[in-house]
Chain A
Amino acid sequence: MAYVAIADRDHEIEHHDPTTFITKYVWSQDHKVIAIQYGVTALFVGLIALILSGMMRLQLGFPNSFSFITPIEYYQFITMHGMIMVIFLLTALFLGGFGNYLIPLMIGARDMVFPYMNMVSYWLYLVSVIILLSSFFVTGGPTGAGWTLYPPQAILPGTPGTDWGIVLMLGSLAVFIVAFTMGGLNYVTTILQARARGMTLMRMPLSLWGIFVATILGLLAFPALFVSAVMMTLDKVAGTSFFMPAIMSMGETLSHEGGSPILFQHLFWFFGHPEVYIVALPAFGLVSDLLSTHARRNIFGYRMMVWAILAIGGLSFIVWAHHMYVSGMNPYFGFFFATTTLIIAVPTAIKVYNWVLTLWKGDIHLNTPMLFAIGFIFTFTHGGLTGIFLGNVVVDLPLSDTYFVVAHFHMVMGVSPILVVFGSIYHWYPKITGKMYNETLGKVHFWLTFLGTYAIYLPMHYLGFLGVPRRYFAMGDTEFIPESAFVLNQSITISALFVGVVQLLFLYNIIVSLKKGKPAGPNPWRATTLEWQTPDTPPKHGNWGDNLPVVHRWAYDYSVPGYHEDFIPQNVSPDEAPVTEEHGPDT
C-alpha cells in the first residue's frame, strides 16, 4: 500500500498558497509557473537563434553583400545558433517546459516531489542563458568553433572567440548541466513516486513516457558533455594536454603534447547522440497524444510504442560514433556503429507506422494541433529516411560534411520537434491560459511554416548531393559546383527568411489570445488525460483542489464502443461509464 501512503501523504502537508507577486510568479515553486518560466525563456533564446540563422542565410544566399557578416561573425552565428537551438531551446523547452507542466498534471500529483530544487533548476538555467548571451559582449565575441566545439581548433587563434567566448560557452554548458540534473532528478522521481492512485506506468500517456525516458537519457548523457567541457577548459586555461597534441599555431609551436582530439569527439558524441533522442523522445510522446486526441482514436499499439521508446533510449547509447565515420577514428568501428545505427531505425519505423495507423479508421478533426502533428509525421519520415543514408557508413563517405547532413538534421531534429512544439503549445494553450487561441491564425501559421520549411530543406539535400560543403562562409569559385547552385541557395535563403518572419504570427497569436481569446472551458478537446480533468482552468496551486484524482483506465479510451461519448476520462470508473456489452471490443 506504499503508493497510497505517498499519494495521500499530500493531505498532511498544508498547501500555503503563495500570496505575494514575487512568490507567485518569480521565486515560484509551482511546477506550472516554473514550466512557463522555462518555456518563455527558451522561446526567447530560440528567437535569438532564429535571427542568427537568418543572418547566416543572408550570407549564404547573397555572399559578401553584407558588411556585418565576415567569416568571424558567420562562424559565431552558426555556433550560437546550433548550441542555442539544441540545448537552450529544445532540451529546455521539452523537459523544463512541457515536462514541468505536464508531469504532475498528467499523473495526478499536486506538484513535483522536490519543488524547491525545481525552482533552483530554472534559475540556474537562466544563469546559463545569461552567461551564454554575455559572450556577445566580451572581447573577441562568442566562440565560432561550431556547436561541436572540436579541439584543437576551438581554443586556438584562427577561430573566433578564443579569448573569452569559448570559456563562457563551456561555463554556460556546465551550469546548464547542473540545472538540467536538478530538474531531471525531479522528473524521474516524480513519475516514479507521485502518481495518483490507479495510475500505473502502463496507464501513463505516451507524452510522459517520452519525457521520462528522455530525462533518463539526459541524466546519463549530459555528464559526458560535462567531462569534455571540464577537460577542454583545463586545456585552454591551465595548459594541460587532454585533447591537445603537439601542434603549431600561426607559425609557432605550442607547448602541448600527446593529447587526442578524437578523445574529445568520442566524449562529445557520447553525449551528442543521446541528445538527439533527448529532443526526439518527448516529441514522439507529445505527438502521439495529439494524434490520438484529435483522431478520437486510441493510440495504435500502445505497448509497442512504449517498448519502442525504451529500445530507442537504450540503443541511443551505442550509436554515437556514426557521427565520426570520417573523423579518423579506428575505421573498423564503422562496422559496429553502422549496424547499431540501422537497428535503431526499426523501433523508430514502428513508431511512424503506429502513428499512421492511429489515423486509420479514426475520426480525424483537423484542428491546428492536429495539423502540426500530421506535418510532423511527414517531416519526421523524411528526416528519418535521410538518416538511413548517413547511418550507412559508406553512403556517409560522400555525404558527410555536406549540406545533406545539414538538411537531414534540420529536418529530423529541427523542423520536426519544432512542429511538435507548436502543435503542443496550441493544444495545451487552453489549459495553461484558460483562453482559446485564434484558430485561423494558427492554421495560417501551420501552412506557412510547414510548406516554408519544406521549401528550405528539400532543395538543401540536393546541395549536399552536389557536394557543397557545410560550414563554408562562401562557396566561392568551385569548379564542380554549377552556377545554378547559387540560385538554389538564394531560394533557400528567401524561404528561410519568410519562415522566420511567419513566426511572428505565432507570437502575436499566443500573446493577443491571452487577453482576447475566448474562454476555453476545462476540456475543449474532449481529451481523456488527467490534466484536462482539473477542477480549475488554469489549474490552481496544488492542481486538484481537495481530492486527488483516482485513475481507472488508460489514457486512450477514445470512441469506446457502446459508450455514448467518444471519450472516457482516465478518472472515470467503469461503474460511472457502463459500456454495453454487445458492442464491446473483441480483443
Chain B
Amino acid sequence: MPLAIVLILLVLGSLVFHFVSPWTFTPIASNWGAIDFTIDITFWVTGFVFVAVNLFMAYAIIRYRHREGIKADYEPENTKLEVWLTVITTILVAALLAPGLIVWAKFVTPPENAIEIEAIGQQWKWTFRLPGEDGDFGHTDARLITVDNPFGINPDDPSGQDDILVDDAIVHIPVNEPVLFWLRSKDVLHNFTVAQFRVKMDLVPGMETYMWLEPTVVGEYEILCEELCGIAHHAMRGRVVVDEPADYQAWVASQPTFAELQAKAPGDPALGAASYAVCSACHGAQAEGLALLNAPKLSGQDPIYLKRQLQNYKAGLRGIHEDDVNGRIMAPMAATLVTDAMIDNVIAYIGTLDDIPAPATLDGDVAHGAKLYALCANCHGKDGQGIKMNAPRQAGINDWYLLSQLKNFKQGLRGRHPQDLGGKQMRAMALTLQDEQAMLDVIAYINSL
C-alpha cells in the first residue's frame, strides 16, 4: 500500500516539478524553433506513457495486493492485447520519429547563401576565420602552425591571402542571416555549443565538420566546449555576438587578413624606447620590475601576452575592479600607447632589455606545489617558460606578482569581464587553488624551475 501511494506521489511530484521548476531551456535565439517543438511533442508523448504506466502499476498494486485466500489469475498470454499494445507503441514511436527526421534533414543541408565562418578549437581556446572577399578559405594544415602562422594557413595558397583572421575567442555574426560554421580542431576533440542556438557539433582534428543556424535575436552569447578536451575543458569559453548587419560589416572590416598579418612590420625598438620612458618609472629601466611599486618584471615576458594585456587595459577589460588598485594605476598608463603600432614598438624595446630572472622572495612547499603545477604546466609549460600560443611565462617573473594575480583571479578582480576570455579561463583555473598556502606552494615550485 505505501508503495502504491509513493508511486502515485512520485508521478504527480515529477509532473509538478516539471511545471513549476524554473529550470528549463534558455530562451531560443535561432531559427531552430522546430527542435524545441519536437522536444515538446516528445515530452507530451513520453510524459503520457510515464504517467499511464506508473499509475496503472500503482493501481494494480493496490487492487491486487496480497489478501488471504485470494489466488492470482492464471493467464499465460493474451495475444490480442499484446498485438494491440505493440501497434499503439509503434504508432507513437513513429509519431515521434517523423518530425525529428524532417528537422534533421533541414539541419544536414545548409542553405546555399549562408555566410561561412570557420571556428577553430585548440586546448583551450577559440579562434575564428572568415573566407575574405574571394569567399574561399585557404588550405590549412596542422603541420604549418607556428607562432607567426597560428592558423596553419598554407602561404602558397592564393585563396588564403584574403582570409580574415580573428585571433580572439569572440566572433560576430549578423542577425537573421544563415551562418554556416565550419569546425576545425588543432589538437583534440572539442565541441561548439551555444545553448541559445540549440545546435552543436564536435570539432574533430584531421577533418572539418559543420553546422548551420540563423540567429534571430541580437545579443551576446557564450560558446562552450562540450566535448571533454582535457583538464581545462570547463574553462574553454568563447563568445558569439549577434549584430545588426551594419555592425557586423564594421566588425569584419576591422579584422586583419592573413596577408596583412604576414606583411606587418615588426615593432621598432628605437621608437619604443621613447614610449618606455613612462613605463620605466615603475617597471624599472631594465624592465626588471619594482616590488615597492607593485610593478612586475616585463623583460623576457612573452610579447603576445604583453600586447594582449596592454590592449585589455586600454579596452577596459582589466584594471577596472575598484579593489584592483594596481590594475587601476596601470589602466591609464596603457592608454598612453594610443595606437597598436606604439604598443608593438614598446614591446619590441622591452625585448631588447636584459632578461635577469627575478629573485625569489616567497616560500612554500615545493613538493606540493609540483603536484599542483601539473595543472598549470599544460598551458604555461613544464619549465614555466610559457607556451607561445597559449599562456605567458611564469618562471623568472616576480613571485610576489604571481601571488597577487592569483589572488586577483580567484577573488574576481581580474578575469571577470565577459570579453576577457583568457582572463576568464585563468580565473577558472585559479579557483582550483584552495587558499593562499596552495598559491605559495605553486609559486615555490615555479621558483625552483
Residues of A within 8 A of B (CB): 63-67, 70-72, 75, 144-146, 150, 152-153, 156-160, 245-251, 253, 257-262, 295-298, 300-304, 326-328, 331-332, 334-335, 338-339, 342-343, 345-346, 349-350, 352-354, 356-357, 359-366, 371, 374, 377-378, 381-382, 385-386, 388-389, 392-395, 397-398, 400-402, 451, 454, 458-459, 462-463, 465-467, 469-480, 482, 484-485, 488, 556, 558-561, 566, 585, 587
Question: Are A71 and B187 neighbours in the complex by a CB distance under 8 Å?
Answer: no
CA distance A318 to B327 in the complex (A): 59
Chain A's nearest CB lies how many Å from the CB of B202?
Answer: 4
User: What are 8 A-B pairs with beta-carbon distances under 8 A?
Assistant: A245-B205, A246-B205, A248-B142, A300-B75, A363-B64, A394-B34, A402-B226, A458-B14
Of B45, B89, B141, the contact of A350 (CB 8 Å cutoff): B89
Q: How many residues of B contact A (CB 8 A)?
A: 119
Question: Are B10 and A378 neighbours in the complex by a CB distance under 8 Å?
Answer: yes
CA distance A465 to B40 in the complex (A): 12
Question: Which residues B94-148 have CB closer than 8 A to chain A?
Answer: 94, 96-97, 100-101, 103-105, 107-108, 122-123, 141-143, 145
Choose, from B330-338, B351-359, B382-390, the stretch at the interface: B382-390
Chain A's nearest CB lies how many Å from the CB of B214?
Answer: 15
Question: Are A353 and B85 neighbours in the complex by a CB distance under 8 Å?
Answer: yes
CA distance A556 to B74 in the complex (A): 10
Residues of B within 8 A of A (CB): 3, 6-7, 10, 14, 17, 21-26, 32, 34-35, 38-39, 42, 45-46, 49-50, 53-54, 56-57, 60-61, 64-67, 70-78, 81-82, 85-86, 89-90, 93-94, 96-97, 100-101, 103-105, 107-108, 122-123, 141-143, 145, 183, 185-189, 191, 193, 195-196, 198-207, 209, 221-222, 224-235, 372, 374-375, 378, 381, 387-390, 416, 418, 424, 427-429, 431-432, 434-435, 438
Question: Are A356 and B207 neighbours in the complex by a CB distance under 8 Å?
Answer: no
From known contacts A70-B432, A158-B231, A361-B75, infer whether A327 and B202 are also in contact, taking CB-CB under 8 Å: yes
Q: A248-B142, A339-B97 are in contact. List 17 more A-B contacts (CB 8 A).
A: A72-B374, A153-B188, A245-B142, A247-B206, A298-B74, A371-B3, A377-B57, A388-B45, A395-B100, A401-B226, A462-B17, A467-B26, A469-B224, A472-B234, A478-B224, A559-B74, A585-B75
Question: Are A392 and B97 neighbours in the complex by a CB distance under 8 Å?
Answer: yes
* Chain A residues whose CB sits within 8 angstroms of the CB of B76 once the complex forms: 298, 300-302, 556, 585, 587
Chain B's nearest CB lies how many Å from the CB of A442?
Answer: 14
From known contacts A248-B145, A381-B53, infer whether A152 and B187 are also in contact, taking CB-CB under 8 Å: yes
* Chain A residues whose CB sits within 8 angstroms of the CB of B226 once the complex forms: 400-402, 469-470
* Chain B residues whose CB sits within 8 angstroms of the CB of A63 once the complex forms: 431
Question: Are A480 and B196 neighbours in the complex by a CB distance under 8 Å?
Answer: yes
Chain A's nearest CB lies how many Å from the CB of B225?
Answer: 8
* Chain B residues whose CB sits within 8 angstroms of the CB of A382 once the complex forms: 50
* Chain B residues whose CB sits within 8 angstroms of the CB of A334 once the complex forms: 104, 108
Question: Are A476 and B74 neighbours in the complex by a CB distance under 8 Å?
Answer: no
CA distance A29 to B183 in the complex (A): 56
Write the chain A residue with the least CB distance to B6. Answer: A451
CA distance A26 to B185 in the complex (A): 52
Question: Are A363 and B71 neighbours in the complex by a CB distance under 8 Å?
Answer: yes
Chain A's nearest CB lies how many Å from the CB of B328?
Answer: 21
From known contacts A364-B61, A474-B428, infer whether A458 and B17 are also in contact, taking CB-CB under 8 Å: yes
Question: Are A338 and B206 neighbours in the complex by a CB distance under 8 Å?
Answer: no
Of B107, B143, B232, the contact of A394 (CB 8 Å cutoff): B107
* Chain B residues whose CB sits within 8 angstroms of the CB of A249 once the complex forms: 123, 187
CA distance A303 to B89 in the complex (A): 18
Chain B's nearest CB lies how many Å from the CB of A491?
Answer: 12
From known contacts A339-B97, A559-B74, A587-B76, infer whether A246 and B143 are also in contact, taking CB-CB under 8 Å: yes
Write the chain B residue with the least CB distance to A388. Answer: B46
CA distance A479 to B97 in the complex (A): 33
Of B22, B60, B100, B202, the contact of A362 (CB 8 Å cutoff): B60
Of B75, B81, B94, B209, the contact of A328 (CB 8 Å cutoff): B209
Most central of B82, B100, B198, B226 by chain A CB within 10 Å: B100
Of B54, B57, B206, the contact of A259 (CB 8 Å cutoff): B206
CA distance A326 to B203 in the complex (A): 9
Write the chain A residue with the least CB distance to B222. Answer: A479
- Nearest 9 A-B pairs (CB), nearest first? A245-B206, A467-B195, A158-B230, A328-B209, A361-B73, A401-B226, A153-B188, A462-B23, A385-B46
Chain A's nearest CB lies how many Å from the CB of B11?
Answer: 9
Question: Are B416 and A346 neighbours in the complex by a CB distance under 8 Å?
Answer: no
From known contacts A158-B230, A392-B96, A392-B97, infer whether A262 and B61 are also in contact, taking CB-CB under 8 Å: no
Of B100, B145, B438, the contact of A338 (CB 8 Å cutoff): B100
CA distance A580 to B49 in the complex (A): 41
Write the chain A residue with the least CB distance to B59. Answer: A360
Chain B's nearest CB lies how many Å from the CB of A284?
Answer: 16
Chain B's nearest CB lies how many Å from the CB of A127?
Answer: 29
Question: Are A247 and B74 neighbours in the complex by a CB distance under 8 Å?
Answer: no
Chain B's nearest CB lies how many Å from the CB of A294?
Answer: 9
Write the chain B residue with the least CB distance to A446. Answer: B3
Question: Are B142 and A327 neighbours in the complex by a CB distance under 8 Å?
Answer: no
From known contacts A466-B24, A469-B193, infer whether A153 and B229 are also in contact, taking CB-CB under 8 Å: yes
CA distance A285 to B206 in the complex (A): 44
CA distance A248 to B185 in the complex (A): 10
* Chain B residues whose CB sits within 8 angstroms of the CB of A356 once the complex forms: 53, 56-57, 60
CA distance A133 to B372 in the complex (A): 23
Write the chain A residue with the least CB distance to B220. Answer: A479
* Chain A residues whose CB sits within 8 angstroms of the CB of B34 once the complex forms: 394
Chain B's nearest CB lies how many Å from the CB of A146?
Answer: 5
CA distance A477 to B417 in the complex (A): 10
CA distance A467 to B35 in the complex (A): 14
* Chain B residues whose CB sits within 8 angstroms of the CB of A393 once the complex forms: 100-101, 104
Chain A's nearest CB lies how many Å from the CB of B169?
Answer: 14
* Chain B residues whose CB sits within 8 angstroms of the CB of A296 once the complex forms: 66, 71-72
* Chain A residues whose CB sits within 8 angstroms of the CB of B61 once the complex forms: 359, 364, 366, 374
From known contacts A338-B104, A480-B26, infer whether A397 and B189 are also in contact, taking CB-CB under 8 Å: no
Question: Are A364 and B107 neighbours in the complex by a CB distance under 8 Å?
Answer: no
CA distance A463 to B21 in the complex (A): 11
Question: Are B378 and A158 neighbours in the complex by a CB distance under 8 Å?
Answer: yes
Write the chain B residue with the least CB distance to A158. Answer: B230
* Chain B residues whose CB sits within 8 angstroms of the CB of A482 once the complex forms: 22-23
Chain B's nearest CB lies how many Å from the CB of A352?
Answer: 6
* Chain B residues whose CB sits within 8 angstroms of the CB of A153 once the complex forms: 188-189, 228-230
CA distance A328 to B221 in the complex (A): 23
Question: Are A476 and B234 neighbours in the complex by a CB distance under 8 Å?
Answer: yes
Question: Are B74 and A297 neighbours in the complex by a CB distance under 8 Å?
Answer: yes
